[in-house]
């Protein structure tokens, strides 16, 4: 089935791999492709458009088109170009971009323009990919719905009354609404994988240290990881190889080659998983998971068995404490990382007579409620007399969770679970109940605590509400390639059942004229 | 495990340099206390023999060569400052009247 690249509606629905091939073959220009995405953003993204997706906090049409034209000129001149040259991308607003406003979804950074590029931004530029803009997120990546963005929520393209997941809801919704073929996300407790699950897209949290975090505004430094988001497993792998690899500017960066994830995705797409052992985590698939989520998860297991994999059950008893440990470690580290927003060097200042009063007034005005809750919680967890009971104990739980993973990976090559317990809930439904909101992350958090890689990919639509369900795959540290092999095999098997990718089943968005 | 009081939350907010009105405390104090109660269970699970993990993949002694490299200019560093003067960050009075 060939794509008519002159039809913008078809062009924006193509995969990134198809776009790259068409660009290389001269079937389409990067300028036309970039313009098609900018037009799509103009039609569906603004809060005053009928769909009002609001995946973007900032759109850089001029910069994206300038990059596109330069790529087209170089290609016409016969210059050798990287594989994704000319394919547009959007970047989560937690990643700094020289010359482009960066807020991390917070009012305290409104209007700030970074004087330097994050390493991943520099790598995207070196890959010659036009940067469409910056995507919406929960403030400082604290949240599971984007409702904690200081600039208003993003809406799920599958049902605009529902959450797009979080914190990277903008990066996921931009993919699902065909506003960008690839996006960059960050995952501290599931902020790439849970938005992927509820928007029927693909997202990967690489091994801790696998992608440089230099220039990523830190939330919780022992958990944060940047990663790639796409609509297909192969597209996500292509971006992973652009982003990944050692960076001397990040002391936690692994000094190792990027895993061969593109090769793994291609191998997996052949559909043969003979000899692969899949471990179902008992603690991540029982009570509290919506019926339709469980049904699609079971069907995905059947598809993996049909591809030749063996399925075993594994138990990780310490996961019962993962959420509690996470909500101590994260606030503790966040309260320290966010001390830099002090009204002195960048961002908002609410002037008072002394610098101390200025800090208090600025942080009161600039931070939203979720950020305040977590800073207070973290300040408490780190305070004298409570440190051992809270932060110290949470770090011990972390050791127990790593041991559970080690034991589970002795009997399975990858572990699997539903990515999130439910399909996307309605905007506003959990906004006043932080603990209910935190339960979204129950299946994704253990991977961050252990530093291992994880992927979410579409498992279908729940029968009871027609909304997306995500399938999570976890692999041992440094074995990111296994995610892509198993993920691509599952994707191919499910696409054969559905008669094509799930994304094309998304309801048409009403567009602004 | 004792629940965090409203006064505790007010004190923590002051330590974290976040001004809180009575309305802020009405809204947030109970929520923070509920979260503390929910996460306190971590103290029950791991014994003294379990080591703490601070980073999932620990690396030791990550150094770079001790040599001068390009860095941001003074103008770039000050470009986002709310106020700057004579190549420095300008802030309101640091010490109180009594100092």
Helix (H, G, I), strand (E, B) or coil at A420: coil
Does A8-319+398-505 carry CATH code 3.90.1300.10? yes
**Residues A394/A418, Cβ–Cβ less than 8 Å:** no
- What does pTM read for this prediction? 0.97
Closest to A224 in 3D by CA, of A409, A379, A94, A391: A94
If you measure CA to CA, which chain B residue comes closest to A433?
A: B31
Partners of A328 on chain B (C-beta within 8 Å) are 39, 42
State residue B98's pLDDT score.
Answer: 56
8 Å CB contact of B45 and A393: yes
Partners of A222 on chain B (C-beta within 8 Å) are 54-56
pLDDT at position B96 over 70: no
Residue A246 contacts B, CB cutoff 8 Å = no
| Sign of the alpha-carbon torsion through A44, A57, A366, B29 | positive
Residue A29 contacts by C-beta under 8 Å, 6 or more apart in sequence? A23, A68, A72, A86
Two tokens at A105?
Answer: 């979804």
Two tokens at A84?
Answer: 């994704």
Partners of B17 on chain A (C-beta within 8 Å) are 342, 356, 359-360, 363
- Domain edges within chain B: 6-45
Q: If 0-12 CB within 10 Å is exposed, 13-18 middle and 19+ buried, where does residue B49 land?
A: exposed
8 Å CB contact of B56 and A346: no
The nearest CA of chain B is from the CA of A236 a distance in Å of: 24
State residue B2's pLDDT score.
Answer: 55
Q: State the DSSP code for B2.
A: P
Alpha-carbon radius of gyration of chain A: 21
8 Å CB contact of A358 and B45: no
Closest to A445 in 3D by CA, of A337, A298, A313, A328: A328
Two tokens at A475?
Answer: 């692999």
**Tokens 């939203």 sit on residue:** A368
Q: Is A254 left (phi over 0), alpha (psi -120 to 50) or beta?
A: beta
How many alpha carbons fall within 13 Å on the CB side of residue A356? Answer: 6
8 Å CB contact of A325 and B42: yes
d(CA A166, CA A195) in angstroms, rounded, equals 6
State residue B99's pLDDT score.
Answer: 47
Q: Is A290 left (phi over 0), alpha (psi -120 to 50) or beta?
A: beta
Q: What is the mean pLDDT of chain B?
A: 90
The residues of chain A scoring below 70 in pLDDT are 1
Q: What is the 3-state secondary structure (H, E, C) of A100-137?
A: ECCCCCCHHHCCCCCCCCCHHHHHHHHCCCCEEEEECC
- What is the largest distance, in Å, between two alpha-carbon atoms of chain A? 70
Query: Which of A115, A251, A379 comes nearest B16 by C-beta?
Result: A379
CA distances from A299 to A55, A207, A247 (A): 31, 28, 40
**Residues A317/A379, Cβ–Cβ less than 8 Å:** no
d(CA B96, CA A36) in angstroms, rounded, equals 58
8 Å CB contact of A389 and B43: yes
Residue A267 contacts B, CB cutoff 8 Å = no
Q: If 0-12 CB within 10 Å is exposed, 13-18 middle and 19+ buried, where does residue A384 land?
A: exposed
Q: What is the ipTM of this complex?
A: 0.94
**Residues A474/A447, Cβ–Cβ less than 8 Å:** yes
- Any catalytic annotation for residue A318? no
- Any catalytic annotation for residue A2? no
State residue A261's pLDDT score.
Answer: 98
8 Å CB contact of B92 and A379: no
State residue A505's pLDDT score.
Answer: 84
d(CA A242, CA A169) in angstroms, rounded, equals 22
* Length in residues, chain B: 99
pLDDT digits (tens, 9 = 90+) for B56-81: 988 888 888 899 999 999 999 999 99
pLDDT at position B97 over 70: no
Helices A61-76 and A30-44, axial angle in degrees (round to 10) = 160
The dihedrals phi and psi of B54, each to the nearest 5 degrees, come to -95, -35
d(CA A113, CA A96) in angstroms, rounded, equals 8
- Give the Cα-Cα-Cα angle A251, A252, A254 (nearest 5 degrees): 110
How many alpha carbons fall within 13 Å on the CB side of residue A210? Answer: 30
- Domain edges within chain A: 8-319+398-505, 320-397
Pairing of strands A226-230, A202-205: antiparallel
């Amino acid at each position: 089935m060939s794509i008519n690249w002159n039809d913008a509606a078809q062009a924006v629905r193509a995969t990134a791999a198809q776009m790259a091939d068409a660009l290389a073959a001269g079937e389409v220009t990067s300028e036309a492709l970039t313009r098609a995405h900018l037009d799509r953003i103009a039609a569906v993204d603004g809060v005053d458009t009928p769909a009002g997706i609001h995946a973007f906090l900032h759109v850089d049409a001029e910069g994206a088109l300038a990059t596109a034209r330069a790529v087209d000129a170089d290609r016409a001149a016969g210059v050798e170009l990287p594989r994704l040259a000319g394919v547009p991308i959007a970047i989560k607003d937690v990643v700094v971009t020289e010359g482009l406003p960066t807020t991390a979804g917070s009012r305290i950074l409104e209007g700030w323009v970074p004087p330097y590029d994050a390493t991943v931004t520099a790598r995207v530029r070196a890959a010659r990919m036009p940067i469409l803009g910056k995507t919406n997120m929960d403030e400082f990546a604290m949240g599971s719905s984007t409702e904690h963005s200081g600039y208003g929520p993003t809406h799920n393209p599958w049902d605009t009354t529902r959450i797009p997941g979080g914190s990277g809801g903008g990066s996921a919704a931009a993919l699902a609404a065909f506003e960008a073929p690839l996006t960059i996300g960050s995952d501290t407790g599931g902020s790439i994988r849970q938005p992927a699950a509820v928007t029927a897209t693909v997202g990967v949290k690489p091994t801790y240290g696998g992608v440089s975090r230099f220039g990523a505004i830190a939330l919780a430094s022992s958990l944060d990881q940047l990663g790639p988001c796409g609509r297909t497993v192969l597209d996500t792998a292509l971006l992973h190889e652009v982003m990944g690899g050692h960076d001397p500017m990040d002391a936690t960066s692994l000094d190792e080659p990027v895993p061969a994830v593109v090769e793994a995705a291609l191998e997996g797409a052949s559909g043969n998983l003979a000899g692969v052992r899949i471990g179902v985590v008992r603690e991540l698939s029982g009570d509290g998971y919506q019926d339709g989520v469980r049904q699609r998860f079971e069907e995905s297991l059947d598809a993996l068995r049909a591809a030749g994999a063996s399925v075993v059950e594994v138990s990780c008893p310490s996961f019962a404490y993962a959420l509690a440990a996470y909500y101590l470690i994260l606030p503790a580290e966040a309260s320290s990382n966010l001390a830099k927003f002090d009204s002195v060097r960048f961002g908002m200042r609410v002037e008072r007579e002394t610098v101390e009063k200025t800090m208090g007034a600025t942080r009161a005005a600039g931070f939203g409620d979720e950020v305040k809750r977590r800073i207070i919680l973290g300040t408490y967890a780190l305070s004298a007399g409570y440190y051992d009971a809270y932060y110290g104990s949470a770090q011990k739980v972390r050791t127990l969770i790593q041991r559970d993973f080690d034991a589970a990976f002795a009997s399975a090559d990858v572990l699997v679970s539903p990515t999130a317990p439910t399909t996307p809930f309605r905007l506003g439904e959990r906004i006043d109940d932080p603990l209910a909101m935190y339960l979204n992350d129950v299946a994704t958090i253990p991977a961050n605590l252990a530093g291992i890689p994880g992927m979410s990919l579409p498992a279908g639509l729940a029968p009871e509400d027609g909304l997306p369900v995500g399938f999570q795959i976890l692999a041992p540290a440094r074995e990111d390639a296994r995610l892509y092999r198993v993920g691509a095999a599952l994707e191919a098997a499910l696409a054969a059942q559905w008669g094509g990718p799930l994304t094309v089943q998304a309801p048409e968005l009403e567009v602004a004229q | 495990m004792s629940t965090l009081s409203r006064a505790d939350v007010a004190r923590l907010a002051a330590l974290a340099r976040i001004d809180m009105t009575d309305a802020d405390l009405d809204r947030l104090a109970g929520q923070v206390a509920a979260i503390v109660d929910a996460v306190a269970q971590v103290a029950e699970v791991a014994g003294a023999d379990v080591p703490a993990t601070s980073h999932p993949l620990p690396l030791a002694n990550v150094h770079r060569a001790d040599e001068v490299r390009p860095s941001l200019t003074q103008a770039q560093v000050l470009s986002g400052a709310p106020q700057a003067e004579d190549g420095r960050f300008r802030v309101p009075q640091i010490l109180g009247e009594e100092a």
